[in-house]
Amino acid sequence: MGVPTAPPARERTGQVALSAHGITKYFDGKAANDSVDFSARCGEVHALLGENGAGKTTLISVLCGQYRPDSGEIQVDGEVRRFSSPRDALRAGIGVVHQDLRQVDRFTVAENVVLGTAQRVDRRAEERVEEIAGELGFHLEPRAVVARLTVGERQQLEIVKLLFRGMSTLILDEPTAVLAPQQSEQLFGALRRLADSGKAIVFITHRLREVTSAADVVTVLRHGRVVAHRPVDGAQPEELARLMIGDEAGPRIKAEPAPTGEPVLELRAVACGTGRRSLHGVDLTVREHEIVGVAGVSGNGQVELAEVAAGMLEPDSGDRRAAGETVAFIPEDRLATGLVGSMTIAENLSFRRFRRAPMSSRFWLRYRRLRDHAHDLIERFRIPVTNDNAHVASLSGGGLQRVIVAREMTEAPELLVAAQPTRGLDVVSAQAVRRQLLDARNGGAGVLLVTEDLDELLELSDRIVVMLAGKIVAELPRGSATRAELGRHMTGAHGDEA
Amino acid sequence: MASRFEKRTDVGLATRIAVPILAVVGGLAAGALILVLGSHNVGDAYSAMWDASFGTSRGFEQTLTRATPLLLTGLAVTAALRMNVWNIGAEGQMAMAAVGATFVALHAESMAKLPLLLLMFAAGAAAAAGWALIAAIPRAWVGLNEIITTLFLNYIALLQLSALINGPWKDPTVVGFAYSKPLPPQAALPFIGTTSVTVGIYIALGVALLLGWMLNRTRLGFSLTITGGNTRAAEYLRLGVGRRIIFVFALSGAIAGMAGVIQLTASSGRLQEGLTGNYGYTGILVAFLARRRVGPTVVVALLFAGLLNGGNALQATGIPSSIAQIVQAIIIIFVLAGESLSGYRLRRTSSAPTATAGPLRPAEEAS
C-alpha cells in the first residue's frame, strides 16, 4: 500500500478545494467569526491576514473540525461536510500545522510521520519521507530523533507528515512566528512548490511583508468579519494595513536618542543550564535611559537571559548586579509565570502591592483597596473585564498581557525586563505598550527588551544584541542595524544554518 | 447521532447544588437495586438509614459526633490543598496527637479540667504538626513527594501508638485488649447540654471559621493561595515557596491533631487502637468534594458523617455488612461522578457524511 489518498493532479489547479460559507461562531456572546466566507483553491497560496483577535484562529479551528460553527457550512470539493472532530477534517484531506507542534520527542522523524496511520515504519516509509522532504527542499533525516530538531525542522516535519497522509489542503497557523527571516523564506519557497503541484495552501499571518511576498490571494479579517478578499497582485501594503487595522492606528513611534546614565544591570560571564536552552558566558550591561533589544530565533537563550536579568533564575556561574530595588518583569509565558489562573483579575493585579500598606496591614488584607487599585488599572490599561469575580484565565492572550503590563509598569521600576511584551496585542494596545516602554526609558529606567518582532526591535532599541546558542554573537548600535543583518547574525554568521 | 463531552466553564450555582442532590438520589436508586437483588426490604433499609443519620435526634447527635473529627481532617486536607500539597497523613497525625495528649494527661493527673484540656490540645496539635513536618521539610527542600511520605508515616504513627499501649502505657488490669491506663476524669470533653454531643463540634466549627478567615482575608492566606495556584508565579514574586509549604503542613497537621485529641477526650477516655477510625483518609474525600473550600467542607463533612452512620444502621437491620458497604460505596461513587461530570456538558453531534478516504483510513491523530 502506498500513500492513502492520491495527490491531487495539477489539472485541478483553480478549482475550489475548501470553502466556508457564512461561518458564525460565538464565544461568550461575542462573535469571533461573523458570517465569514472563505475559499481556498488548488494551486493557490492564500494568506489569511488579520490582527490578533481578528478571528483567524477561530476560522481555521472551524475549518479543521476543532470547533463546530454556530451557523454556516463547509464544503470540500463542492460537497457539504460537517466535521465533528479534526479527524473528520483529516479524512477529508484538510491538514493543519498548528503553532504548538504536537510531536513525540523521543520518536524519529519517520516514526512521527507514520504514527497514527495504518502503516509501518519500514524502509519504504523512510524513503517516502525522504522523498517528500527532498521535493520541498527540506533536509530532514528520517531517522533523526525529533528532540534534536530545531523548531524550523519540526515545522517541516509537520508539513511532511500531512503530505504523507495525502492532504490536499494545508493550513498553517502563523508559521513564521518562530522562524528567522531566512528560514521563513525557505518555508515560503516550499509552500510555493506545493501550490504548484496542485495543493491548496492557506497560511495565517499578521505580517504584511509575508502577504505581499508569498501569497497569491489574501483574505483580511477584522473583528471577526471578512473586510477584503482580493488577489495580492497590485495590492498596496498601506491599503492592506488599513484594512487589517482600520483607521485606529496612531502614528508610528520614534524613539529620540537620549544620553544614557549609570548601569542598572550588569551581567558578567553569566552561564547557566546545558543544552539548547542555556547561557554561555554572557556579558551585558543595561544603563539608565536606554532600551537594549535582544534579537534571536526562538529558543537560543533569550528566555533564560530575561529570567537571569530579572533575577528569576540564578546563574550557575558569573555575576549579576542590579543597581535598583525595583525590577519589573514581563515574562514571555504570561499564564505560566506571571499570573495565577485560578485567581481573579483584581487579585492578579495586586500581586506587586498586596504585601505593603495601604493594601494590607501587618496581618489583614484590605480587599477594598485591592479592588480600588484593580479598577484603576483596568480603566487605565483598558483590560477587558466581564465581571469583578472573573478569573484571570478567562481572558484572551491580549487581555492577559494587559494585566501583566499594567501591574508591572505601575511600579516605576529602575530595571524593566520585557519578554515579548506586545505578543498577542492588537495594534492599538501594542503601540500603547511600546509607548510605555519608551516612557519608562525616558523616565530613567533601563529596559531589556526581548522580542521576536524585528520591526519593534529596530523601532525601540538604543542598542540591539543578537543571541545564538546561548551567547551574544553581535551587538549593533542604534541606526546601523537592518533586518537582513540581524537575520544573518540570528542564524549563525552568514546564513549557512538557515 | 453521536455525542461527546465538552468541558464547560459556566457551571452555575443551581447546577452546583442540584448535581450532588441528584447524585445522591441516583445512588440511592442504584443501592435499592442491590438491596432488591438480595431480597431485602428497601423501604425498611432506607428508613433505618434516615433515622440513624438525620431523621431522629439520637441519630443526628451521632452524626454530629462523627462529623466532628471528619470536619477537622477535611479542613486539614483543605488547608494543604490550598497550597497544592497533599496531606494524606491526617490519620497518622491524629494518632500522634492522641499520643501527645495522652502523655500530658498521664503525667498531669492533678491538673484542673480546663488547663489540662488546653494543655492536651496544645500538646496534641504540636505533636501532630511535628509529625507532619517530617514529610514537609524534605518536600520543601528537595521536592520529595509528600503523598508517599505522609502515607507511610501513617503506618509508623499507628504502630507507635500500638507499641505504647502494648508497652509502657498498657493498663495491666485489662486482659485481652491493648488499652492505655484510663485518663483522669478531668480529661473528658464536656457534653453540650443534655445531648451526647461534646463541645468538640464547637471546636471544629471554630477551627473552620479561623481557617476560612486566615485563607481568605489575611495577607498570609492570600500569599498561600498565590503559591498554591502557581509556584512559578510565587517564585516570580519572591514568595518563599518552601517556607510556605512547611508552614501549611504544620498547620494542616495541627488541625488533624485536634481531631485526634477530640477522639481521645470525647469518646474513649483511653488511648486505644482504632481511635483514628479512618477519619484521616475520609477527610481527603471530604476536602475533594468540597473543592478545597472551607465553607463547603463543613456541609460535606456533616453529610458524609450521616452517610457513614446510615450505613452502620443498615447492618443493624440484619442486612449483611458487605451489602451495607456496597450501598454506601455506590452512593459515594455517584456523588464523585456527579462532581466530576458536572464540569462537562454532553453535546449531541450529527456525524459527518461517510468519508470517502480511499481504501485505508488515514490519520487517526488529531494533529
Q: What do you get for the CA distance between the two ends of chain A, in Å?
A: 35
Handedness of CA B39, B43, B46, B49 (dihedral sign): negative
Any idea what the CATH number is for the domain that residue A138 is in? Answer: 3.40.50.300
B113 vs A12 pLDDT, higher one = B113
Distance from CA of A493 to the nearest CA of B (A): 35
Residue A251 has pLDDT above 90, yes or no: no
Axis-axis angle for helices B13-37, B321-341 (nearest 10): 150
**CB interface of B with A, residues 73-112, below 8 Å:** none
Scan residues 116-175 of A and list those with Cβ closer than 8 Å to B.
116-119, 158, 161-162, 165-166
Backbone angles phi, psi at A301, to 5 degrees: 105, 0
From chain A, pick out residues whose CB is under 8 angstroms from the CB of B220. 363
CA distance A409 to A403: 10
Does the residue A3 lie in any domain? no
- A1 within some domain: no
Tell me which residue in A5, A352, A362 faces B358 most closely, judged by beta carbons.
A5
CB < 8 Å to A337, chain B: 230, 232-233, 236
Phi, psi of A169 (to 5 degrees): -125, 130
A334 within some domain: no
Chain B closest-CA separation from residue A411 CA (Å) = 13
Q: Does residue A159 sit in the same domain as residue A285?
A: no
Q: Which of residues 37-66 of A touch B (CB under 8 A)?
A: none
- The per-residue pLDDT of chain A, averaged, comes to 85
What per-residue confidence (pLDDT) applies to A297?
A: 77
Q: Is there a single domain that holds both residue A240 and residue A252?
A: no
| Start-to-end CA span in chain B (Å) | 24
Name the residue among B311, B305, B303 with its Cα closest to residue B31: B311
User: Cβ contact (<8 Å) for B355 and A92?
Assistant: yes
List the one residue out of B231, B278, B248, B260 whose CA is nearest residue B133. B248
Q: What are phi and psi of A331, to 5 degrees?
A: -75, 155
A352 and A371 in a single domain? The answer is yes
Counting one residue from chain A and one from chain B, the pairs whose CB atoms sit within 8 A come to 126
**Residue for grid cell 522532504:** A133
Q: What angle do CA B236, B242, B247 make, to 5 degrees?
A: 120
CB–CB contact A85 B357 (8 Å): no
Return the DSSP state at A9. Answer: P
A4, A102, A161 ranked by CB distance to B358: nearest: A4
Does the structure show a pLDDT above 60 at A456?
yes
Q: Which of A410, A427, A453 is the C-terminal boundary of a domain?
A: A410
Residues A430 and A391 in one domain: no
- A229 and A91 belong to one structural domain: yes
From chain A, pick out residues whose CB is under 8 angstroms from the CB of B214: none
Inside any domain, residue A403: yes
Alpha helices in A410-482 (DSSP H): 427-442, 454-460
Q: What is the DSSP string of B7-55?
A: E-S---HHHHHHHHHHHHHHHHHHHHHHHHHTT--HHHHHHHHHIIIII
Interface contact flag, A68 B349, Cβ < 8 Å: yes
Touching check for B346 and chain A: CB below 8 Å? no
Residue of B nearest to A308 (CA): B236
Domain assignment of residue A332, yes or no? no
- Residue A394 counted as domain residue: yes
Interface check for B231 against chain A (CB to CB < 8 A): the answer is: no
Mean pLDDT value across residues A434-444: 88
Residue (of A136, A216, A206, A209) closest to A173 by Cα position: A206
Nearest Cα of chain A lies from the Cα of B215 at a distance, in angstroms, of: 11
All residues of chain A having their beta carbon less than 8 Å from the beta carbon of residue B233 are: 337-340, 351
Q: With an 8 Å Cβ cutoff, are A116 and B364 in contact?
A: yes
Listed by start position, the domains of chain B span 41-318
In a domain, A58, yes or no: yes
Q: How far apart (Å, rounded) are the C-alpha atoms in residues B356 and B287?
A: 51
- For β-strands A217-222 and A45-50, DSSP reports them as parallel
**Contact (CB<8Å) B9/A394:** yes
Confidence of residue A205 (pLDDT cuts 50, 70, 90): confident
DSSP state of A8: P
Amino acid at B231: T
C-alpha cell of residue A383: 483590560
Rounded CA separation B165/A436 (Å): 70
The answer on A176 and A65 residing in a single domain is: yes
From residue A473, how far is each of A296, A300, A304, A466, A470 by CA, in Å? 10, 11, 16, 6, 9
Using CA atoms, how far apart are residues A278 and A305, in angstroms rounded to an integer? 9
How far apart, in Å, are the Cα atoms of A188 and each of A136, A255, A498? 10, 33, 13
Closest CB to A4: pick one of B4, B226, B360: B360
Section A295-309 average pLDDT: 86
Q: CA torsion, points B295, B300, B302, B307, in degrees to nearest 10?
A: 180
When CB atoms are compared, the residue of B220, B230, B349 closest to A84 is B349
Angle at A486 between CA A483 and CA A490, to 5 degrees: 135
The C-alpha of A4 sits at a distance from chain B's nearest C-alpha, in angstroms, of 6
SS3 A389: coil
Of B367, B361, B364, B355, the C-alpha closest to A170 is B367
For residue A221, give the nearest of A55, A20, A72 by alpha carbon.
A55
Same domain, A152 and A211: yes
> Residue A477's pLDDT band (boundaries 50, 70, 90)?
confident
Last residue of a domain, one of A245, A276, A300: A245
Whether the CA torsion B1, B2, B8, B12 is positive or negative: it is positive
* Full residue range of the structural domain in which residue A477 is found: 248-326+412-498
Task: Say whether A363 and B219 touch across the interface (CB within 8 A).
Answer: yes
Is A71 an interface residue toward B (CB < 8 Å)?
A: no
pLDDT digits (tens, 9 = 90+) for A304-358: 899 999 888 888 999 898 876 778 899 888 788 889 988 999 999 999 889 888 8
Q: How far is B189 from chain A (nearest CA, A)?
A: 32
Q: How far is B288 from B285, CA to CA, in rounded Å?
A: 5
Q: Would you state the cell numbers that stand for residue A349, as one nine-digit string?
A: 493585579
Of all helices (H) and strands (E), which one includes residue B77?
helix B57-82
Residue B149 to residue B134: CA distance in whole angstroms: 8
Bridge partners of residue A222, in order along the sequence: A225
Pair A224, A53: CB distance under 8 Å: no
Per-position DSSP letters for A158-173, written without gaps between them: HHHHHHHTT-SEEEES
DSSP annotation of B144 reads -
Residues A214 and A312 in one domain: no
Q: Which of A214, A245, A276 is at the close of a domain?
A: A245
The pLDDT tens digits along chain B (367 residues) read: 455 666 665 567 777 788 888 888 999 999 999 889 888 888 988 999 999 999 999 999 999 999 999 999 999 999 999 999 999 999 999 999 999 999 999 999 889 999 999 999 999 999 999 999 999 999 999 999 999 999 999 999 999 999 999 989 998 888 878 889 889 999 999 999 899 999 999 999 999 999 999 999 999 999 999 999 999 889 888 888 999 999 999 999 999 999 999 999 997 789 999 899 999 999 999 998 888 899 999 999 999 999 999 988 888 888 888 888 888 889 889 988 888 787 676 665 544 333 333 333 333 333 3
- For residue A157, being part of any structural domain is answered with yes
Closest residue in A to B228 (Cα) is: A340
Chain A interface includes B142 (CB < 8 A)? no
Which tens digits make up the pLDDT trace of A89-122?
989 999 999 877 788 889 999 999 998 888 888 8
B1 touches chain A (CB under 8 A): no
C-alpha span between A157 and B47 (Å, rounded): 66
To the nearest whole angstrom, how far is the Cα of B285 from the nearest Cα of chain A? 21
Q: Chain B: nearest CA to A83, how far in angstroms?
A: 6
- Whether omega for the bond prior to residue A263 falls within 30 degrees of 0, making it cis, is no
Whether residues A195 and A285 share a domain: the answer is no
Same-domain pairing of A118 and A175: yes
Domain B41-318 has CATH 3.40.1350: no
Quote the number of domains for chain A. Answer: 3
CB-based contact A446:A289 (threshold 8 Å)? yes
Note whether A215 and A305 are same-domain residues.
no
- A71-76 β-sheet, strand order: A30-41, A16-27, A71-76, A79-81
Cβ-based neighbour number of residue B110 at 10 Å: 7
**Cα dihedral A217→A221→A225→A226 (10° resolution):** -20
CA distance B135 to B72: 20
| Residue A104 sits at the chain B interface (C-beta within 8 Å) | no
Q: How far apart are CA B314 and CA B49, in angstroms?
A: 6
Contacts of B337 (CB under 8 A, 6+ apart): B23
> d(Cα B43, Cα B19) in Å, to the nearest integer?
24
A131/A276 same-domain check: no
